[in-house]
Amino acid sequence: MQIASGTIIDGKVVVEGLSLPEGTVVTVLARGDEVAVRLLPQQEAELLDALDEADREEGISAEELFARLRRFG
């Protein structure tokens, strides 16, 4: 798994410095104010808890995360 940022140019996602094989399936998350995300109160509380945890720097490193993800193929 890789994480990269790109830009839409002529209707296509262009990612600098990353070469993926033809046919690679990707997921695109777009940043922007156009779409509002609505959460249930419980979901919002979980998100706020996760943000607080991230601010406290609890959890695992990115390297450990990727190592764990590789185990799943």
Taking only the tens place, the pLDDT of each residue in 5-25 is 888 889 888 888 888 888 888
Tally of CB atoms within 10 A around 6: 13
User: Quick check: is 55 in a domain?
Assistant: yes
User: Quick check: is 2 in a domain?
Assistant: no
* Parent domain of 32: 7-70
User: Quick check: is 1 in a domain?
Assistant: no
User: Quick check: is 33 in a domain?
Assistant: yes
Please give, one letter per residue, the 3-state secondary structure of 3-62.
Answer: CCCCEEECCEEECCCCCCCCCCCCCCCCCCCCCCCCCCHHHHHHHHHHHHHHHCCCCCCH
User: Quick check: is 12 in a domain?
Assistant: yes
Is it the case that residue 55 has pLDDT exceeding 70?
yes
Percent of the chain with pLDDT over 90: 4
- State the pLDDT confidence band at 42, using cuts at 50, 70 and 90: very high
- Counted domains in the chain: 1
